[in-house]
């Protein structure tokens, strides 16, 4: 967050930039960073969030694991069944192992991971930041459907309860094709 905030401040200081017309855009983790910056900086004129989440990283990763398992090749699904491996339970167990670490880097299942970043990602819930954003840019689903500016926090609270945004048939994080 600090690096992105410093970049935003440096951009606003440039003479050719109107500091009142600066917009943010972010994809995936960048969407979480852009949401945090926009929530804490009322001078941000607009924000476009692409493929971010409206729930904690841990929730998003469990949701992804649950949807990934049935799409794996038949051989992989068979191995998971034979080894009695529940992918969501395995992901959750790995999250717990990472949360118990105190170092910046740790080995989980023999793989070196950025434990500090992962702990922060797992626990960060963007809902409060999303509810505080006052600047929104129109968005499209890629098929020409424009989504209007939501009421502050309206989509977030409904989406967190149901996994779906109001008026939209797809859960967060899925695409239309």
Is 168 part of any domain? no
Is 40 part of any domain? yes
Query: Is the confidence at residue 131, as pLDDT, over 80?
Result: yes
Mark whether 97 and 50 lie in a shared domain.
no
pTM above 0.85, yes or no: no
Mark whether 18 and 105 lie in a shared domain.
no
What are the tens digits of pLDDT across the range 29-73?
999 999 999 999 989 999 988 888 888 999 999 999 999 999 999
SS3 annotation, 125-169? CCHHHHHHCCCCCCEECCCCCEECCCCCCHHHHHHHHHCECCCCC
Number of domains forming the structure of the chain: 2
Is 8 part of any domain? yes
Mark whether 78 and 109 lie in a shared domain.
yes
Query: Is the confidence at residue 144, as pLDDT, over 80?
Result: no
Range of the domain at 114: 57-122
Pairing status of strand 23-27 against strand 139-140: unpaired
Mark whether 116 and 152 lie in a shared domain.
no
Burial class (CB in 10 A: 0-12, 13-18, 19+), 156: buried
Q: What is the pLDDT of residue 162?
A: 37
Mark whether 45 and 78 lie in a shared domain.
no
CA 131 to chain centre: 14
């Amino acid at each position: 967050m600090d690096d992105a905030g410093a970049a935003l401040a440096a951009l606003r200081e440039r003479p050719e930039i109107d500091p009142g017309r600066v917009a943010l855009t972010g994809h995936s983790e960048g969407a979480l960073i852009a949401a945090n910056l926009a929530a804490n900086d009322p001078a941000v004129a607009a924000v476009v969030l692409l493929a971010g989440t409206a729930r904690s990283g841990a929730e998003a990763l469990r949701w992804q694991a649950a949807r990934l398992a049935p799409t794996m090749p038949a051989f992989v699904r068979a191995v998971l069944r034979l080894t009695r491996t529940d992918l969501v339970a395995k992901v959750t167990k790995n999250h717990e192992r990472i949360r118990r670490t105190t170092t910046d880097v740790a080995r989980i299942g023999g793989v070196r991971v950025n434990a500090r970043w992962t702990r922060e990602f797992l626990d960060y819930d963007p809902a409060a930041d999303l509810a505080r954003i006052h600047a929104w840019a129109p968005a499209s689903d890629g098929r020409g459907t424009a989504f209007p500016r939501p009421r502050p926090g309206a989509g977030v609270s409904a989406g967190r309860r149901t996994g779906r945004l109001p008026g939209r048939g797809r859960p967060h994080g899925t695409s239309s094709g």
